């Protein structure tokens, strides 16, 4: 029997307990021995819940109990998670976590500590909810040099953008719905401003390139400026708007960014809708591969956490994680990255198309019935710097969105 302790009985923590109880028999069979939840750490009590008899309020009870081999950290946030996880590893306990903030900030250090102690620090649930992506990067795609990772990495924003497109709903109402469904972060800005996706692409890039990608270095733009008008114009041009986290190797430089992007149905991420996440990976020998599934929510996330627990039970004293070095990976300045740009501007198309082409070069432009006094156009490929320079010379720009294939 292997004893585990779950830190946090919130959405994911209660999901972990539920998954272990629901699939007890098959999980134990796959793990090779029985997994016993000995403790659940939470500040609260849960009278009437069967978990109550396992609740402790003092982490030291878990830390000092040598019968606990695995600590499952599902509290979220950097502190006290970091202190708890580090001390667990120092005391000879493996750790499974869903905490992307922790992994993005301290991943390289905690992976190295686990390796040094012959333990494991696993974090499948930190990116893509229930989608296996960390394990594939760690175990299945090791023959490749990774050239690109582009993903819809945040379920809440994908849910919002999908609903806005399908139902014409307002941003705030859909956000409330996503929160009620348990998809959203406690602080909505983490989802809608792109910070959550930023941490996730930082983790994937660090793993893929083997060096620390600091999330603070990643250009990040959220979806709060996307309006129903932009969604209508995107449809008119044959595109949908997705919040993409991307990391690309171009001429030996790594460009990394999070931004709303218009994509066409030629892009495999086009049909990733609702709370689903999709992660596209290109390797230099494999070519393209795509991962798709439930990107947020209690049980999908818990499923990924429990898969890590099973792996840790199977490898109690064998480290299985590829490291990423603490050496910082210098990202290229996005000002030289090249793409097309969608621009929505004040005025009539008939009156301003010539001016738009004089400033931006050839454009594909449109006006829409029902949107008066505004028009939109898509430029040809240019660098971010060139776009910024041209945009200075064109008055009345209301929004601009990057356009990918």
**Does residue 300 interact with ligand HSE by CB under 6 A?**
no
Stretch that binds ligand HSE, among 182-190, 223-231, 341-349, 397-405 (CB under 6 A): 182-190
**Binding test (CB under 6 A) with ligand HSE, winner from 15, 107, 129, 293:** 129
Q: Write the burial class of residue 255 (CB in 10 Å: 0-12 exposed, 13-18 middle, 19+ buried).
A: buried
Could you confirm whether 30 is annotated as catalytic?
no
Question: Which one among 124, 185, 308, 384 touches ligand HSE, defined by CB under 6 A?
Answer: 185
State the nearest-atom distance from the C-beta of 184 to ligand HSE, in Å.
5
Nearer to ligand HSE, 184 or 403 (CB): 184
Is the Cα torsion angle 42, 18, 34, 100 positive or negative in sign? negative
With binding defined as CB under 6 A, does residue 283 bind ligand HSE? no
| Residue 202 or 296 with smaller CB distance to ligand HSE | 296
CB-based contacts of 153, cutoff 8 Å, min separation 6: 127, 128, 196, 197, 200, 201, 243, 245, 277, 279, 295
Residue with Cβ nearer ligand HSE (39 or 195): 195
The active-site residue, picked from 200, 248, 298, 339, is 200
Among the candidate windows 49-57, 58-66, 83-91, 177-185, which touches ligand HSE by CB under 6 A?
177-185
Per DSSP, the three-state class of 341 is strand
Cα separation of the two ends of the chain: 51
CA dihedral 162, 168, 173, 177 (to 10 degrees): -40
The residue nearest ligand HSE at its CB is 156
- Distance CA(373)–CA(229), nearest Å, equals 12
* Interacting positions 191-250 with ligand HSE (CB under 6 A): 191, 196
The residue among 28 and 158 lying less far from ligand HSE, judged by its C-beta, is 158
Taking the least distance from each CB to ligand HSE, the nearer of 191 and 384 is 191
From the list 308, 261, 391, 365, the residue with the least C-alpha distance to 133 is: 308
Check if the beta carbon of residue 125 is closer than 8 Å to that of residue 143.
no
Residues within the interface to ligand HSE (CB under 6 A): 129, 154-156, 183-185, 191, 196, 295-296
């Amino acid at each position: 029997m292997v004893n585990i302790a779950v830190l946090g009985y919130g959405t994911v923590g209660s999901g972990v307990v539920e998954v272990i109880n629901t699939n007890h028999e098959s999980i134990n069979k796959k793990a090779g021995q029985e997994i016993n939840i000995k403790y659940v750490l939470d500040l609260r009590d849960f009278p009437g819940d069967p978990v109550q008899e396992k609740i402790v309020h003092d982490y030291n009870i878990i830390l000092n109990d040598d019968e606990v081999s695995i600590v499952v950290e599902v509290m979220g946030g950097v502190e006290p998670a970091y202190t708890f996880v580090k001390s667990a590893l120092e005391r000879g306990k493996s750790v499974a976590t869903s905490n992307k903030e922790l992994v993005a900030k301290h991943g390289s250090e905690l992976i190295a500590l686990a390796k040094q102690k012959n333990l494991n620090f696993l974090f499948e649930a930190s990116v893509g909810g229930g989608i296996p992506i960390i394990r594939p990067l760690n175990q299945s795609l090791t023959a490749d040099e990774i050239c690109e990772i582009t993903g819809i990495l945040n379920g809440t924003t994908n849910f919002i953008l999908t609903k806005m497109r399908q139902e014409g709903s307002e941003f705030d109402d859909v956000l409330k719905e996503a929160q009620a469904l348990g998809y959203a972060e406690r602080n909505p800005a983490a989802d809608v401003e792109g910070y959550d996706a930023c941490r996730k692409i930082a983790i994937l890039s660090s793993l893929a390139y083997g060096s620390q990608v600091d999330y603070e270095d990643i250009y990040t733009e959220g979806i709060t400026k996307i309006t129903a008008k932009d969604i209508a114009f995107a449809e008119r041009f044959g595109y949908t708007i997705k919040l993409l986290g991307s990391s690309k190797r171009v001429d030996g430089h790594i460009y990394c960014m999070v931004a709303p992007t218009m994509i066409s149905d030629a892009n495999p991420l086009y049909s990733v809708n609702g709370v689903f996440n999709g992660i596209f990976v290109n390797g230099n020998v494999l070519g393209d591969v795509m991962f798709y599934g439930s990107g947020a929510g209690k049980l999908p996330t818990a499923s990924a956490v429990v898969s890590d627990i099973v792996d840790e039970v199977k490898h109690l004293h064998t480290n299985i994680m590829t490291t990423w070095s603490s050496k910082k990976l210098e990202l290229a300045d996005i000002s030289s990255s090249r793409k097309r740009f969608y621009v929505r501007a004040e005025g009539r198309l008939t009156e301003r198309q010539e001016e738009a082409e004089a400033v931006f070069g050839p454009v594909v432009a449109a006006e829409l019935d029902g949107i008066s006094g505004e028009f939109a156009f898509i430029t040809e490929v240019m660098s971010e710097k060139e776009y910024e320079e041209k945009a200075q010379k064109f008055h009345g720009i209301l929004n601009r969105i990057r356009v990918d294939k």
